[in-house]
Amino acid sequence: MHRIAINLIFALLLIAGTDSHSQQPGEEVLFSFDDRSIPWKHNLKLTLVEAEKHPNNPVLRRGPKGAPDHGHAILYGTVIKDGDKFRMWYLAMFEIELKRGQAPSWWRPMCYAESDDGVNWTKPNLGLVEFNGNKNNNICLIEGAPFSLTKVNDFLSVLYEPDDPDPSRRYKAAYIAHPPYDDIKGGMSPVGVKERVVATTILATSGDGLSWKILGDRPANAEGERFEVTSLYRFGDHYYSHGQLITPWAWRPDGSRIGRVMLGYRSADFVNWSKAKSFSFARPGQLAEPPIKGQQTHMGAGLWNRGNVLVGLYGMWQDAPVKPTGKYWNEGVTIDLGLLVSNDGVYFREPVPDFKTIPRGKEGEWDSIALLQGHAFVNEGDKTMIWYSHWDTGGKLRNMEIGLATLRRDGFGYLERQFTNTTGHCITRPISGRELRLFANAENISDKNPLRIELLDKKDRPVKGYSGKHAAQLTAQGIRQEIVWPFTKSPRLPSDQELSVKVSFPDAGNARLYALYSEDEFKSNPPVRKTVKAKTDDGVEYGLWGRRKGVRQPTLIVLGSTIDSVLDSAYFRQCGNQLSEEASWLCVSIDLPCHGTRSRPVENAGLTGWRQRVEKGENFVAPFNARLSSVIDHLITQGITDPDRIVSSGTSRGGYLAIQFAAHDKRVKAAIGFAPVTDLRALREFRGLDDHPLTQKLSLENSAPALANRHVWMVIGDQDQRVSSDRALACARAMTAAMVRNTFHLMPEPRGHTTPKGSTELAARWIQSLFP
């Protein structure tokens, strides 16, 4: 594929990884059958599991005469669960006979169905597309030009990205259309043979998954080779589309002929696609010398993106024993569905070659001929649900409908001991995270026969406190059992270290391990780094930045002027930026006196307002302290703030009030002032009030005794005339004399009144040393 020419700006600022319906955020799955995730094994064997077909299959059937899916309803499509609703996009056919292996109109509509349980499906009346004289049908609308590009004719893949900043493009699709050659702007590559109608990759976007617009005015593979695209997903930094080709468009590594194989293209932005392609998978028999007769890889794979790994099913095509003569060209072809796995989104492999995860049915059963895969995997409760469909390779459209198969949740396969008279163990690849927890999907374990879980460092050495006598013992079986470490009495693993997990199997019983899950709570519940305002019960407005839901966070009070001007500014957040990023600190702010909502109509704003209040004998600090204490009360009561880790900080006038508040409220364990006002008499706004008793009383030196045995950190430039470097130094000396645990930095800073370079990093490290 190559660049799609479009006349609009298309910027995708998406989460690196995949759509949110594929995985738990922050979770990595280490499947038992994934030998990259669990590479080291002793006395263990892998057993793959065949899925169980639903007794009511097919669960979605073709429609009555006159319906758009009367000919067939097959899952060359996608199923996701969005909230409480299962959503399915499938390939319909209204004609009841094929012509040269295709729908005579070269159009098989994209149809839509919904379900509450994944078993009982409805086909809603979308009212979008005229069909048989009315719009009473479940056909999705696809608009664009030329019109031939809007006509889906084969495999359609839907990707849901709810975090796309453009709401109209949160659903993305790739499908096969067969436009006439002359409709393809730019034409096609001379590789292969020229066709009258060409298998092309069409990309489309939608805001709701029902009304679509094609991307650009030409296929994604225009000027390239024909391609039968069968997937669309995002993995890491790229989008990928895999599909199938056959000689003359594909060949074995030595250039010799080959049947259907899985190839792939990629794009960094969904708009510009590579021309070079990957040879992603072929059945082992296809690459043997000589090749095993009749083996092919049908239509790439239906894929499930689990964030760190892709799991999928592919079509295990087997030619008819005898090539049909005078019959439909695929008569006698059979297809089962086999398991694939990929750790890079490019290359795929079979954990056990030729194992049939979903085999075709027995003679006389509805799915006895050939099975078709879709992107249709959902974990629901204790089950993994997989939808698939049946293909009549004899061309008569018999039973071409959609079925359901299930496994134990993530139960594609398990590890167990090979020799039962001794123990076995496995060791995972390294994992790491800031707030990592570990879970196991296991069965046949008990108090007498537990799994033993230990941690190893990157040199395979046991980690103290997490191995040996401190190893965890997993005794309860289930699909997601949390590992709790007996020494720490916590599920948390050491933070930000590369650790491997060693799982030892008991020497009795038949313990089975299906998967391990590592979940980084920081990634699954990241800070909301935008200003969110709220009020206490007594009406005090405050702002939060870096909030994590359901977590008590260490809290940094950040003061400067108004809530918005402080929390929306990286400069005024100061060390809060680093503390949020590295240690999940929450930033909290309120409006200062005479700023924002705390201004009065009859007075000036800012520091001049402070002067006016002092002149009237009004102590503006005391009510401010009361308001901020109310906010801290509220945040602790609401389970937002960790009461043992509260620090107040501020810049200039905000630094002054941060230290005043620490003196007032003993819950504040430390205070920070960046170029702080330490004495109001240093400010030009207070000229002439040097002898005013309230001006003198409000000097920070007078608050020093209330800060005894607590921590205060201040930094100021050596040429700060606005708030006076000399007065800040005098304040620091007074605090030291009052037994304050004072840290004072007088740093070279020619710019005058500003935060000296490097001081925010110093402050962050200082706080982290106080609260390791």
Partners of residue 315 on adjacent β-strands: 298, 337
Query: Hey, is 766 helix, strand or coil?
Result: helix
pLDDT band per the 50, 70, 90 thresholds, residue 3? very low
pLDDT per position as a tens digit, 309-333: 999 999 999 999 988 777 788 899 9
**Other CB atoms within 10 Å distance of the CB of residue 545:** 25
Q: What is the mean pLDDT of residues 508-535?
A: 93
What length is written for the chain? 772
Q: What is the mean pLDDT of residues 594-612?
A: 96
Reply yes or no on whether the pLDDT at 128 is more than 70: yes
End-to-end CA separation in angstroms for the chain: 52
* 257-261, 333-337, 521-525: range with lowest mean pLDDT: 521-525
Q: What is the mean pLDDT of residues 16-27?
A: 52
| Angstrom distance (rounded) from CA 658 to CA 652 | 10
pLDDT band per the 50, 70, 90 thresholds, residue 13? very low
pLDDT per position as a tens digit, 685-736: 999 999 999 999 999 999 999 999 999 999 999 999 999 999 999 999 999 9
pLDDT band per the 50, 70, 90 thresholds, residue 484? very high
pLDDT band per the 50, 70, 90 thresholds, residue 26? confident
- What confidence score (pLDDT) does residue 434 get? 87
What is the percent of the chain with per-residue pLDDT over 90, rounded to a whole number? 91
Q: What is the mean pLDDT of residues 579-600?
A: 96
pLDDT band per the 50, 70, 90 thresholds, residue 23? low
Contact 273, 266 (CB under 8 A): yes
- Give 563's Cβ-side CA count (13 Å radius): 20
Which candidate, 209, 249, 272, places its Cα nearest to that of 10?
Answer: 272
| Angstrom distance (rounded) from CA 652 to CA 728 | 11
Query: Hey, is 123 helix, strand or coil?
Result: coil
Contact 679, 735 (CB under 8 A): no
H-helix or E-strand containing 156?
Answer: strand 154-160
Angle between helices 621-637 and 653-664 (to 10 degrees): 70
pLDDT band per the 50, 70, 90 thresholds, residue 15? very low
Q: What is the mean pLDDT of residues 78-107?
A: 92
Domains and CATH numbers, the chain: 50-408 (2.115.10.20), 413-521 (2.60.120), 525-770 (3.40.50.1820)
Handedness of CA 568, 574, 577, 583 (dihedral sign): negative
* 340-349, 419-428, 450-459, 523-532: range with lowest mean pLDDT: 523-532
**Other CB atoms within 10 Å distance of the CB of residue 377:** 24
Kindly report the pTM of this predicted structure.
0.83
**Other CB atoms within 10 Å distance of the CB of residue 702:** 15
Q: What is the mean pLDDT of residues 463-473?
A: 97
pLDDT per position as a tens digit, 363-380: 999 999 999 999 999 999
Query: Hey, is 56 helix, strand or coil?
Result: coil
Task: Say which amino acid occupies 664.
Answer: H
pLDDT band per the 50, 70, 90 thresholds, residue 772? confident
Reply yes or no on whether the pLDDT at 19 is more than 70: no
DSSP labels, 435-473: SEEEEEEEES--SSS-EEEEEE-TTSPBPTTSSGGG-EE
| Angstrom distance (rounded) from CA 701 to CA 707 | 10
Contact 348, 342 (CB under 8 A): yes
* Between 2 and 237, the higher pLDDT residue: 237
Cα dihedral 62, 63, 68, 73 in deg (nearest 10): -10
pLDDT band per the 50, 70, 90 thresholds, residue 24? low
Q: 628 φ, ψ to 5°?
A: -70, -35
Angle between helices 759-770 and 576-583 (to 10 degrees): 50
Which candidate, 557, 647, 540, places its Cα nearest to that of 598?
Answer: 540
Q: What is the mean pLDDT of residues 444-459?
A: 97
Q: What is the mean pLDDT of residues 628-635?
A: 98
What is the chain's mean pLDDT, rounded? 94
DSSP state at residue 65:
T
- What confidence score (pLDDT) does residue 6 get? 28
